[in-house]
């Protein structure tokens, strides 16, 4: 039982970066903008998170990471929403740009191309009540507050999308922007906000990796998690709860792969593939049934050209 709980705790830690990024992606996608640049935004968050944590402490690191994630997202928004460049092309460019910038600033600020000095994480916390149940101990004690935040964000995202004016309009803009426009809902600002929220979330998730998970920045540490988050969001049918379970599935797969790597039964390269193979299978099998926002990926302009 203890082992299973350890495993769950490990899965949860793996889940969080994917989950937070996926939740952010929901805002972007439901507003009608595909954000394939999530990976780059996470990378940006990971780098600036480490830098901020080094100089201003972990909270400062997270705030800086969020801000930088939003800045990169702003580029994506300007390019795709205002200038209506193909969203995939822009996203790919963002990923390349983020990678290059991270390396550039790493040399400039840390004096090392691929790693940062180690940084302090946030103080670990215990969940009251749950921590007293001995079985739940591994998942209720000594955990990062970002894990709690990530899970709270699932509910917050749901509430915003389903209960608020902002959510209703954001979704409308992603489903049928022309209809929204004729009803006086301004399409462009909502899409900007959607994309920028996704940047903030991805930045936060990236910073979690560097500040909380490894306590340092390592080049390429996001390991495709931005793409996995996108897959999780699709698997979750563009919904917060669905995305949570999908992210958890990937987190779990990763936790397993780490365990098995340690066991050295199968060559570890194959085990490392599990989360990615799972992503492929899920996308191949589930996407047909998924119901994306009707206008995702399509730039909007009034005159229709």
Partner 1 sequence: MEKVLELKGITKRFPGLVANDNISFDALRGEVHALVGENGAGKSTLMKIITGLYQPDEGEMFLKGEKVKINGPRDAIAKGIGMVHQHFMLINRFNVVQNIILGYENSPGGVIDFDKAKKKVEELCELYDFKLDLNAQVGDLSVGHQQRVEILKVLYRGAEILILDEPTAVLTPQEVKELFVNLRKLKQEGKTILFISHKLDEVLEISDRITVLRRGKVIGTVKASETSKKQLAEMMVGRPVLFRLEKPIVKTGDVILEVRNLKVKGSIDRHQLNNLSLSIRAGEIYGIAGVEGNGQRELVEAIMGLLPYDGGEILIKGKSNKGLDTRAIRETGVGYIPEDRHQRGLVLPMTVWENMVLGLERKPEYSRWWKLFRDKIKSLTSKKVEEFDIRLGSIELAIRNLSGGNQQKVILARELSYEPDLIIAAQPVRGLDIGAIEFVHKKLIEARNNGKAVLLISADLEEVLSLSDRVGIMYNGEIVKEFVPGELELEEIGQYMLGAHKEVGVG
Strand, coil or helix: 84: coil
| CB of residue 117 to partner 1, shortest distance in Å | 43
CA distance linking residue 108 with residue 240, whole number of Å? 38
| Beta pairing partners, 143 | 125
Q: Which of 1, 129, 133, 165 binds partner 1 (CB under 8 A)?
A: 165
Contact between 176 and partner 1 per CB under 8 A: yes
Q: Give the residue from 138, 130, 129, 140 showing the smallest Cα distance to 5.
A: 138
| Tokens at 302, concatenated | 């009034």
Of the ranges 4-12, 21-29, 94-102, 159-167, which one interacts with partner 1 (CB under 8 A)?
Answer: 159-167
- Smallest distance, Å, CB 293 to partner 1? 8
- Interface with partner 1, residue 156, by CB under 8 A: no
From residue 9 to residue 38, the character string flagging contacts with partner 1 as x (rule: CB under 8 A) and all else as - is ------------------------------
Q: How far is the CB of 169 from partner 1 (least distance, A)?
A: 7
Residue 164 touches partner 1, criterion: CB under 8 A: yes
Task: Supply the Cα-derived Rg of the chain in whole angstroms.
Answer: 19
Q: Which of 129, 265, 267, 291 binds partner 1 (CB under 8 A)?
A: 291
84 is an interface residue for partner 1 by CB under 8 A: no
> How far, in Å, are 70, 127, 174 from residue 220 at the CA level?
20, 32, 32
Contact at 8 Å (CB) between 257 and 239?
no
Q: Which two tokens stand for residue 46?
A: 């990971």
In this chain, which of 109, 136, 151, 185 binds partner 1, going by CB under 8 A?
185
Q: Three-state DSSP class for 120?
A: coil
| Pick 111 or 304: Cβ nearer partner 1 | 304
Distance in angstroms (rounded) separating the CA atoms of residues 227 and 234:
11
Distance of CA 145 to the CA centre of its chain: 17
Q: Within 10 Å of residue 199's Cβ, how many Cβ atoms?
A: 33
Token pair belonging to 16: 């969080």
Q: Least Å distance between CB 289 and partner 1?
A: 13
Residue nearer to partner 1 on the CB measure, 111 or 184: 184
| Contact residue for partner 1 among 183, 277, 281, 287 (CB under 8 A) | 183
Binding-site ranges for partner 1 (CB under 8 A): 163-166, 168-169, 171-172, 175-176, 178-185, 291, 293-294, 302, 304-305
């Amino acid at each position: 039982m203890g082992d299973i709980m350890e495993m769950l705790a490990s899965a949860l830690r793996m889940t969080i970066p994917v989950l937070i990024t996926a939740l952010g992606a929901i805002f972007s996608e439901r507003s009608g903008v595909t954000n394939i640049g999530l990976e780059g935004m996470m990378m940006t968050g990971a780098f600036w998170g480490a830098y901020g944590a080094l100089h201003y402490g972990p909270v400062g690191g997270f705030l800086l990471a969020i801000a930088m994630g939003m800045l990169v997202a702003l580029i994506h928004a300007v390019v795709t929403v205002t200038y209506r460049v193909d969203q995939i092309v822009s996203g790919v460019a963002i990923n390349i740009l983020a990678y290059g910038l991270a390396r550039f600033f790493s040399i400039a600020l840390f004096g090392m191309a691929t790693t940062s000095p180690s940084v302090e994480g946030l103080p670990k916390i215990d969940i009251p009540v749950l921590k007293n149940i001995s079985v739940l101990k591994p998942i209720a004690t000594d955990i990062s507050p970002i894990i709690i935040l990530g899970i709270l964000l699932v509910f917050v995202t749901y509430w915003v999308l389903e209960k608020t004016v902002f959510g209703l309009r954001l979704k409308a803009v992603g489903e049928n922007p022309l209809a929204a426009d004729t009803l006086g809902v301004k399409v462009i600002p909502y899409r900007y906000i959607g994309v920028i929220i996704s940047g903030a979330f991805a930045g936060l998730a990236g910073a979690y990796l560097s500040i909380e998970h490894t306590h340092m920045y390592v080049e390429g540490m996001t390991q495709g998690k931005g793409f996995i988050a996108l897959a999780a969001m699709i698997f979750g049918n563009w919904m917060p709860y669905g995305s949570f379970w999908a992210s958890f599935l990937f987190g779990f797969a990763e936790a397993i792969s780490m365990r098995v790597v340690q066991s050295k039964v199968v060559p570890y390269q194959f085990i490392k593939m599990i989360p990615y193979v799972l992503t492929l299978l899920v996308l191949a099998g589930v996407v047909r049934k998924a119901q994306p926002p009707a206008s995702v990926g399509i730039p909007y302009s009034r005159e229709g050209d």
